[in-house]
Structure 1
Amino acid sequence: MAKDNKTPQKKPRFSAWWIYGLIAILLIGFQFFGGEGFSTTKKTTTSELQEYLRNGDIQKIIIITNTDQARVYLTDEALQKDVHKDVAEKPLFPTTGAIPQYILDYGDLQLFQSDIDEIKKENSLDTIVEFDKESNLFMDLLITILPFVLIIGIWIYLMRRMSGGAGGGAGGQIFNIGKSKAKLFDEKTDTRTSFQDVAGLEGAKEEVEEIVEFLKNPDKYTSLGGKIPKGALLVGPPGTGKTLLAKAVAGEAKVPFFSLSGSDFVEMFVGVGASRVRDLFKQAKDKSPSIIFIDEIDAIGRARGKNNITGSNDERENTLNQLLTEMDGFGTNTNVIVLAATNRADVLDKALMRAGRFDRQIYVDLPDIRERKEIFEVHLRPIKTSETLDLDFLARQTPGFSGADIANVCNEAALIAARKEKKAVSKQDFLDAVDRIVGGLEKKNKIITPEEKRTIAYHEAGHATVSWMLEHAAPLVKVTIVPRGQSLGSAWYLPEERLIVRPEQMQDEMCATLGGRAAEKVIFDKISTGALSDLEKVTKQARAMVTIYGMNDEIGNLTYYDSSGQSEYGFTKPYSEQTAQKIDEEISKIVEEQYQRAIAVLHEHKDKLTALAERLLEKEVIFKEDLEKIFGRRPFEKHFDQKGQEIPSDKLTPEEETTEENK
């Protein structure tokens, strides 16, 4: 039996606009055609009218004074004449009133009337001349009601826009404005994200998985007298995977999942935010057990305070008050868990952060080297690679990268390979992608004079030389004098991932950073503006040593750091003017010491600095191997195993030494 593959045609949906359009067409047709029924009336001239009048063909003339027109009606005898045969035909549609045979614009009324009277008198005619005014009911009605129609139409349009579009809902249009805008996740139609798609974040993922387990099997926890947590707050830097974790919860949980942003509660009308919070929790409670996810909760969860102008709470604070009440008030919502994400936990209200509302604060930190490897494994699944990539190498090349940054690296590598007409993505494409993201796009066509190019080469060679000679400075990967982004030259380092930093480590990093300006001073005995970013970096590091970490003997073990962030909005300093002067002196002393130290290192290795700069001018890009040919093996070189753990140099096998050299 043959199957009927024809898809049923959709019937056009009925709309009230059809009726409005039909009425408008009828009114317009009545206006233009209804009064005269497609009549045969013709326009004539004053001279022709006078001739018809002398011949006795005209029975009646009606002068319309408000339109400067005259309507001419012929006698029955005149209609039989050949000259009037065009106007003697009957109209297409019959009408009830008499139809004029001719119509004309008479111009000056007094002159027109005197000419007619004179002809009538000369020819002893009994032609009737009447005066009348014409009124257009349709136009009068239209002019009367049009302003009201426009006002009502604009009002309806604005109300629909404010209520979130023309789509209806419970209450419909303007009455739907207080309803929640949360999207209900449907696992059958929406793209499903599972915990397998979330690499790294082991601690955060474990706690989130437990929340899903709470809802799937609550008796396991409540049988011992425990209570299911009310909420969990995901806190961490941008791009670390907070929203991705929530998507994984939506994909794994077999319960309704409501997702929305904190800004969805914000509206121009008073009370709308609080109304949407009530409606959201009402929907979640009706479908309990359920999960509510509020992304960027700091949009409504900021710390409350009195308004300096009016002295009253603003609309955002009313929304927050309603959220606090819904999460832990008299009307407790059972089996409704609230997940929220923010990267600004310091500005949230303390009442929102207390136990009983957000019982758990899950910190989602930047991934370490092992977690970065796992993230690469996830994002490399759809990438077509030309070789087996060393993921440990890629993980070490991306220190400080978030999960979003690593996803961007993989995508950028694929775009670079496609730009080069490759069939697959290679290791070099990934390295180029890291350079592109960290440093910016290469600008090989930037106009640089030979003198400037030489200065840039010695500047970058100074960075490389000082960092190579200092133990705690980050090991060099490559140096380039090709402009990239806003920089005229750049050096890539592979910093050691430390959890704590000691003063000697910070001092070595500052000394290496000042190596560029020091090289300009040693070689040319001049300095330039090219060290701006270097000076900014070392000044911040020195200030942090003195005012934040208590690493200065003169200031002592004091810190002026405010973790709450409130001091940023104040106009006072937490120390006296004498202390401020001492802080400035100590910062200047630290920076100057490291600058003189860099100059001393470069004086000691001036010949090698010159050789490195000349090779850089020749090749434009040099790598670690070029420095080893000039300086020899770095005595402070560190080696890592497959798990990213450091291996002492005396315990390296010959095979591992060869592998490290290749890397």
Structure 2
Amino acid sequence: MEQKNNSTNPTDKPNKPAKRMPNIPKRPQKTPKFNIFWVYAAIIIGLIAVNFLFNSDNAQQVSYSTFEKEMLIPGDVQKIISYKADDIVKAEVYIKDAKKEDPKYKKYQNKTGFGNSKGPMVVFNAASPDQLDRLLKESQVNVPAENQIKAEPVSKSNAWAGVFINIILPLLLFAGLWIFMMRRMSGGGGGGGGQIFNIGKSKATLFDKESQVNITFNDVAGLTEAKQEVMEIVDFLKNPKRYTNLGGKIPKGALLVGSPGTGKTLLAKAVAGEAQVPFFSLSGSDFVEMFVGVGASRVRDLFKQAKDKAPCIIFIDEIDAIGRARGKGNMMGGNDERENTLNQLLVEMDGFGTDSGIIIMAATNRADVLDNALLRPGRFDRQIYVDMPDINERKEIFNVHLKPIKLEDNIDINFLAKQTPGFSGADIANLCNEAALIAARKGHESVTKQDFLDAVDRIIGGLEKKNKIITKEEKRAIAFHEAGHATVSWLLPHAHPLIKVTIVPRGQSLGAAWYLPEERSITTTEQILDEMCATMGGRAAEKITFGKISTGALSDLEKVTKQAYAMVSMYGLNDKLGNISYYDSRGQESFTKPYSEATARIIDEEASKIIEEQYARALQILADNQENLGKLAEKLLTSEVIFKEDLEEIFGKRPSDNEGTELLAENVPFENVTPSEVPTLENKDLPNNNNTGVSH
């Protein structure tokens, strides 16, 4: 017998093993992608099933005799609905709500307790509609015809329509509302509510090569100094080596500060159009959300996107929405979310992980409320003040906004610029549009000079109300009131030059005196006192003429009171109090007074003294010129509107014409620019329509 050798011999060839497949990882089987809409569909189907299972179809079948004895004869039936089912007629019986609690009906209710609250109580059969009507009539033979219960025939399709309207349609509306809300919470994307966490993403609008802004610095009129500052930032982004070779660093942030309508946002749009780099634009309120932590999350996401696009510019409009000083007005943690957003913004602007190549621009008209940490060097290095335009800048702004308007040939833009002191760029744009609308309303083929002057009247004074009911006595009081303003301002050397006086009601005023303020950088004590005296001229004229005063000086008193308190407590123009100012430019002492009660008493006494002195001064001036005052008032009653030429005819040339009227290009009879005050005879608080061009 052959013995098998199990020893291993290196010379022997081993048996060839069976071929084995490599260990290839199994490809995971694709599972159906989950969609939240399947959940919605399951909910809808379940609700429909519940409504169908526990609704009217569960009503018990009874015989006609049972129905007649227990329900019809006792008068418990509310209505009967019949419909054809196969070869018979089914009648559904509805019981009155007040009778459903009767113990005899408990046996007809579903054991589950669902379904019969609004549906039929029982169902019985009849051979035909005629037989059903005959049986009901025989059972109610002793009941008056108008009170008999009759069957209401409906088709089966109508029954199904009722089911659809009452059951299916509300469910579909509910499901649609639910889907709409989930899609809104997910930011409008697909996939249901899975993207609800996108609420922490930044809402900044990106302007890049695909979505360039068409506005350039050529579209921004005026703002010469501000444009020079931001143009340097744009130049650095285009030619960085020009600055880095000298060791310089571009400011990390630039804050545009100015009054509303001066062009801060427009300047930022011009930067976006000129820079040719990615530009992120958003508002300070975009960080604010009802959910805790969303603001800080959006700040982080904004800077993450900006780092991916660097070099770029981030522009935050109305930054005071999140940049207010921390720790003020913090009532029980009410400002924690806003402060967390500000803290994250501070860290991103100048923290350990800050990368270069991101420039922050922001705009606000409330720089005084911003946190000090936001304004320090390294964050907003530069504060660029965008002031109200002067006369030359207003001319440039008019040139921009008048381009699309069809003008008459002799329009003088210099004249328009001189007639709009204190107007911002937005005001001038509105003025040009209003003039075009007035010209169209009048049927003009082009916009005339008079249309612009009417537009100034409309914007500042309001709409004319010639149909306003005013008695003769009130109209006479208004005329002398306005004549008093005109007389005193004409005779005082430092008062603003008078342009026009009217007693035609306009807006909330019953009359107004219009002036052309000088464009001053500073105001002297004499100028303020003369303006106060002219303001008190209206009440003084009433006192001298009628021996009594009215409520028509409300806005006059408001104006002079503010001026008097400003002289005493802010500008240091009072001899008794001295060179002291209690003005708080940062607004940090809003709840406390920085002076004692004794000083407060002195301030009140000195302010009252100044006002009464100017009132007595106005009385004396009008007493010396009472005859001319009467002539001016009578002329005003006759024509309702008087101009500079009318005052020259009565009083002669104004002594200060060579000082204050050099702004007037020509003597145009309708040079109405700004109402110095708006007197009224109504005893209510009215807004102060003082010209913003007057220095305070």
Query: Which TM class, normalised by the smaller chain length?
Result: 0.7 to 0.9
Q: Secondary structure at the match of 2:362?
A: strand
Asked if structure 2 preserves the Cα contact closer than 8 Å seen for 1:327 and 1:333, the reply is no
Deviations 1:289-335 (A, max 9, x none): 11111010011001111775546961111111110011100111311
Paired residue for 1:487, among 509, 512, 519? 509
Asked if structure 2 preserves the Cα contact closer than 8 Å seen for 1:166 and 1:173, the reply is no
Do the aligned partners of residues 256 and 71 (structure 1) sit closer, same or farther apart at CA in structure 2, a change above 3 Å counting? same
Whether 1:211 aligns to 2:211 is no
Q: How far apart, in 2, do the equivalents of 1:324 and 1:190 lie?
A: 29
The aligned residue for residue 635 of structure 2 is 615
Deviations 1:533-564 (A, max 9, x none): 00110011011000000000100011111111
Whether 1:582 aligns to 2:605 is no
**Over aligned residues, Cα RMSD in angstroms?**
3.9
Paired residue for 2:570, among 548, 566, 585? 548
Do the aligned partners of residues 545 and 168 (structure 1) sit closer, same or farther apart at CA in structure 2, a change above 3 Å counting? farther
Which AA in structure 2 matches 1:212? Answer: V
Deviations 1:564-612 (A, max 9, x none): 11222x1x32111211111111111111111111111111221211111
The aligned residue for residue 484 of structure 2 is 462
Q: How far apart, in 2, do the equivalents of 1:438 and 1:407 lie?
A: 14
Deviations 1:263-282 (A, max 9, x none): 00011111111111011111
Which AA in structure 2 matches 1:161? Answer: R
Do the aligned partners of residues 536 and 370 (structure 1) sit closer, same or farther apart at CA in structure 2, a change above 3 Å counting? same
Number of positions where the alignment pairs a residue of Structure 1 with one of Structure 2: 548
Between the aligned residues of both structures, percent identity stands at 70
Paired residue for 2:347, among 289, 311, 325? 325
Q: TM-score, normalised by structure 1?
A: 0.75
Report which structure shows greater RCO (CA 8 Å, sep ≥6): 2
The aligned residue for residue 233 of structure 1 is 255
The aligned residue for residue 303 of structure 1 is 325
Superposed, 1:373-412 pairs within 5 Å as 373-412=395-434
Do the aligned partners of residues 20 and 262 (structure 1) sit closer, same or farther apart at CA in structure 2, a change above 3 Å counting? closer
Paired residue for 2:381, among 346, 359, 365? 359
Paired residue for 2:615, among 595, 600, 604? 595
Whether 1:41 aligns to 2:64 is no
Do the aligned partners of residues 243 and 398 (structure 1) sit closer, same or farther apart at CA in structure 2, a change above 3 Å counting? same
The aligned residue for residue 76 of structure 2 is none
Q: How far apart, in 2, do the equivalents of 1:524 and 1:580 lie?
A: 36
Deviation at 1:422, TM superposition (A): 1.4
Which AA in structure 1 matches 2:184? Answer: R
Which AA in structure 2 matches 1:530? Answer: G
Paired residue for 2:221, among 196, 199, 202? 199
Q: How far apart, in 1, do the equivalents of 2:110 and 2:461 lie?
A: 83
Do the aligned partners of residues 24 and 403 (structure 1) sit closer, same or farther apart at CA in structure 2, a change above 3 Å counting? same
Do the aligned partners of residues 509 and 43 (structure 1) sit closer, same or farther apart at CA in structure 2, a change above 3 Å counting? same
Q: How far apart, in 1, do the equivalents of 2:553 and 2:218 lie?
A: 46
Which AA in structure 2 matches 1:457? Answer: A
Deviations 1:218-267 (A, max 9, x none): 11111111112111000111111111111111121201111111000011
Whether 1:538 aligns to 2:560 is yes
Whether 1:501 aligns to 2:523 is yes
Whether 1:277 aligns to 2:322 is no
Q: Secondary structure at the match of 1:423?
A: coil
Which AA in structure 1 matches 2:429? Answer: A
Do the aligned partners of residues 508 and 646 (structure 1) sit closer, same or farther apart at CA in structure 2, a change above 3 Å counting? same
Deviations 1:393-433 (A, max 9, x none): 11121111111111111111111111111111111111111
The aligned residue for residue 76 of structure 1 is none
The aligned residue for residue 624 of structure 1 is 644
Paired residue for 2:244, among 206, 209, 222? 222
Q: Secondary structure at the match of 1:567?
A: coil
Q: How far apart, in 2, do the equivalents of 1:153 and 1:233 lie?
A: 46
Do the aligned partners of residues 320 and 171 (structure 1) sit closer, same or farther apart at CA in structure 2, a change above 3 Å counting? farther
Deviation at 1:448, TM superposition (A): 0.5
Asked if structure 1 preserves the Cα contact closer than 8 Å seen for 2:88 and 2:125, the reply is no
Q: Secondary structure at the match of 1:355?
A: coil
The aligned residue for residue 437 of structure 2 is 415
Whether 1:253 aligns to 2:275 is yes
Q: Secondary structure at the match of 1:293?
A: strand
Q: How far apart, in 2, do the equivalents of 1:589 and 1:625 lie?
A: 35
Q: Secondary structure at the match of 1:232?
A: strand
Asked if structure 2 preserves the Cα contact closer than 8 Å seen for 1:639 and 1:660, the reply is no
Deviation at 1:639, TM superposition (A): 7.2
The aligned residue for residue 126 of structure 1 is none
Q: Secondary structure at the match of 1:429?
A: helix
Whether 1:431 aligns to 2:476 is no
The aligned residue for residue 135 of structure 1 is none
Q: How far apart, in 2, do the equivalents of 1:563 and 1:65 lie?
A: 78
Deviation at 1:660, TM superposition (A): 5.5
Q: How far apart, in 1, do the equivalents of 2:535 and 2:589 lie?
A: 30
Asked if structure 2 preserves the Cα contact closer than 8 Å seen for 1:192 and 1:251, the reply is yes
Deviations 1:462-495 (A, max 9, x none): 1111111111100011110001111110011001
Asked if structure 2 preserves the Cα contact closer than 8 Å seen for 1:169 and 1:176, the reply is no
Asked if structure 1 preserves the Cα contact closer than 8 Å seen for 2:496 and 2:517, the reply is yes
Deviations 1:69-106 (A, max 9, x none): 6899xxxxxxxxxx99xxxxxxxxxxxxxxxxxxxxx9
Do the aligned partners of residues 204 and 306 (structure 1) sit closer, same or farther apart at CA in structure 2, a change above 3 Å counting? closer
Do the aligned partners of residues 394 and 45 (structure 1) sit closer, same or farther apart at CA in structure 2, a change above 3 Å counting? closer
The aligned residue for residue 114 of structure 1 is none
Q: How far apart, in 2, do the equivalents of 1:385 and 1:552 lie?
A: 51
Which AA in structure 2 matches 1:535? Answer: L
Asked if structure 1 preserves the Cα contact closer than 8 Å seen for 2:464 and 2:507, the reply is yes
Superposed, 1:141-160 pairs within 5 Å as 157-160=180-183
Which AA in structure 2 matches 1:240? Answer: T
Whether 1:528 aligns to 2:576 is no
Paired residue for 1:161, among 167, 184, 203? 184
Which AA in structure 1 matches 2:624? Answer: E
Which AA in structure 2 matches 1:329? Answer: G
Deviation at 1:44, TM superposition (A): 4.3
Asked if structure 2 preserves the Cα contact closer than 8 Å seen for 1:273 and 1:315, the reply is yes
Superposed, 1:94-105 pairs within 5 Å as none
Do the aligned partners of residues 386 and 167 (structure 1) sit closer, same or farther apart at CA in structure 2, a change above 3 Å counting? farther
Asked if structure 1 preserves the Cα contact closer than 8 Å seen for 2:36 and 2:192, the reply is no
Which AA in structure 1 matches 2:248? Answer: G
Unpaired segments of 5 or more residues in structure 1?
1-14, 33-38, 47-63, 73-82, 85-105, 108-138, 648-655
Do the aligned partners of residues 237 and 280 (structure 1) sit closer, same or farther apart at CA in structure 2, a change above 3 Å counting? same
Whether 1:338 aligns to 2:383 is no
Do the aligned partners of residues 638 and 372 (structure 1) sit closer, same or farther apart at CA in structure 2, a change above 3 Å counting? farther
Q: How far apart, in 2, do the equivalents of 1:630 and 1:200 lie?
A: 41
Q: Secondary structure at the match of 1:422?
A: coil
The aligned residue for residue 176 of structure 1 is 198
Do the aligned partners of residues 629 and 41 (structure 1) sit closer, same or farther apart at CA in structure 2, a change above 3 Å counting? same
Which AA in structure 1 matches 2:288? Answer: V
Deviations 1:479-534 (A, max 9, x none): 10001111110011001111111100000000010111111111111111101100
Q: How far apart, in 2, do the equivalents of 1:169 and 1:365 lie?
A: 50
Q: Secondary structure at the match of 2:589?
A: helix
